[in-house]
Structure 1
Amino acid sequence: MSKSNFVSRKLKKKSSLCAAALAATLSILTISSATQASATGWSPEISGGQQVTGAAGFAQAHDNSNNIADVWNDTQGHIHVAFNNGTNQTWPTAVTHDAPAVVHTEWGWRAFHTGTDNHIYYAGFEVGSNNSLTLGSWQQVPGNVTTTSSPTVTPLPGANLEQWELAYTGLDNHVYAQYHQRTSQSTGQGTFATPQAVTQAVSNYAPALATDTAHGSLTVAWTGTNGSLYASQQRIGTSTWSSALTMSTPSRPILSQPTAAFTQDGQPWFGMNISDITFPDQSNPPVTYYAGPAQIDGAGTLIGHTHVAVEELAGLTSNPVLDPRNFDVYGIGGTENGSVVWKKFN
């Protein structure tokens, strides 16, 4: 199993190639399969004074005091957890070959992973003095919740109770969502609802899930079997998912699980990985963007720069006639050392 170095970048609102909007605007962060995480502004993820390395993925969550919990798996599949970039601890007995997940709920930190038996497990951990950690025991999520990919979890708001929503791609490739509630800290597992199939959601990858606290809703996004990006919404407190909404149909298929998140004012941001794009080496891509036109080789791989066009929509379910002259264009290119850079052109 290969090893990856994890890096992070602190983003300002709308300062990066991301996008916004289910309720107001929509834009998409497009990353090619050739993208490397060494672009200017990226910093290594540190735990205990050393860069975090892992095999499948890296999860991070914040609490209301801006404390940070990191969870990842190493090349042997063992799960590690660190708090505020302190020394990491290895969770005993837990092994996963997919990216784990972590959230902060009203009653503490919860981590999730897909076991080698394809069942999803969860556990809590407590933070003591000097950021020391007490790791809880893993428990299997009830309801025959099985998948061959990563779970995705989002906490739900609520006073004096713990709530979260879990989403996963089942063994039948349908996307499912499951609600959990615990009304007393002295009780055990709490209540798990029966997993519910998301309307028209079929995928070969794990879904993305995010809570929009500003509008009281959930959004699940997934990569369709045709390589397009789709999403569905549910009002918190209900059990009905909207029909599948096409969010993006790129000219090259999406390769992986998408990402989704909401800003405090209710704008969602989506990310996706596009296949078959190779960036050429350029000494100064922001300046020479138009000097290297894109070409397609015999294998069908797009060689050259790519770009993202961002256009404002009136709403998620509306279908207005858009002004084709009103959009922003971001160019993406590669540098000689393999870094990826971008520039806004209008």
Structure 2
Amino acid sequence: MSTKSFTVLAEQVIDVELDAVEGLKRFIDNGFNDACQTLFDCQGKVVVVGMGKSGHIGGKIAATLASTGTPAFFVHPGEASHGDLGMITKDDVVLAISNSGETGEVLAIIPVIKRIGAPLLAMTGNPNSTLAKLSEHHICVAVEQEACPLGLAPTSSTTATLVMGDAIAVALLNKRGFTADDFALSHPGGSLGKRLLLRLDDIMHTGALLPVVSHSALIKDALVEMTQKGLGMTAVVDESGQLAGIFTDGDLRRILDSQINIHQDGIASVMTKSPTTAHANLLAAEALNIMEEKKINGLIIVDESQKPIGAMNLQDLLKSGVL
């Protein structure tokens, strides 16, 4: 088989599946709306069940629902018959997925679901199937043909089911007023979560790790402090402990060509007065924007009385995953 043949076949598969997805629009009707309303009103969790390829798709749908504001989990129907039905309560809603609507393992647990009292929603490719008829609400995901040339391997049908699951999840997301902040709470390990959740008090250097010297200190004393703390800067404070200035590696480079004597001259004569500061509850992503705008590599974090309580630099942002 030539490379061109592979390409032609791939394009045919995509065309068939595109038609399948486009055809789903005719099923976005009152039944879809009623099913979504039942999911929206659910006081417990959405329990997704499915066998085989439908089960794989169901697992992804459950994960998408859970990450977008609708608590959900997947239960394998085979395991459900051997104890996992105990996970389901009357406050839950069961979303059963079967392209044929006649999957034995799924149908076998329907009587128990009915007895528990959990509402049953079905997503099938056959509105006249047993599962569709037993469900309170049915969402049709029928396709004209599978992309598999044998018409056997679930391809278009699983794609259509996955897309319909996304349609449900996003519809519920919007109905709930789900925000990017809400999304971040369920994705703390992702880049979006870090940008929306991580604050300076999570990454700043405090206590003995905070570089700080008195404004009466000599330049050499400030250099020792900077070397020991390793942040490329030090805060300079007055008699009351309030921030008087900052001295950085950049400041050091700028005074090298002058007649400054680091063993005799005081840090107050070369420090940067009124430096840019931040508060501990500032988002790390916002701190990054400030540093980029000001073209600085570090920030001193101060409290309400302008006393230094922490320090951080670009390396800290890099380590935290914000940068």
TM range (shorter): under 0.3
Task: Report the TM-score when normalising by structure 2.
Answer: 0.20
Asked which structure has the greater CA Rg, the reply is: 2
Task: Report the TM-score when normalising by structure 1.
Answer: 0.19
Q: Which has the higher helix share?
A: 2
Q: Which has the higher strand share?
A: 1
